[in-house]
Amino acid sequence: MRSSSTDHHGELNILLAMSAIFGCLRKMIYISTGN
């Protein structure tokens, strides 16, 4: 039951990484469509 805290931390890191990747993709799409 100790791994519950580490699992939660991993989930947060994954969510942060996903949001960052989606943000970059949004910027790239916005720039490519803007031009």
Neighbouring C-alpha atoms within 13 Å toward the C-beta of 33: 6
pLDDT, one tens digit per residue, over 1-35 is 566 666 778 899 999 999 999 999 999 999 999 86
pLDDT at 25: 96
pLDDT at 5: 65
**Cα torsion through 21, 27, 29, 34, rounded to 10:** 180
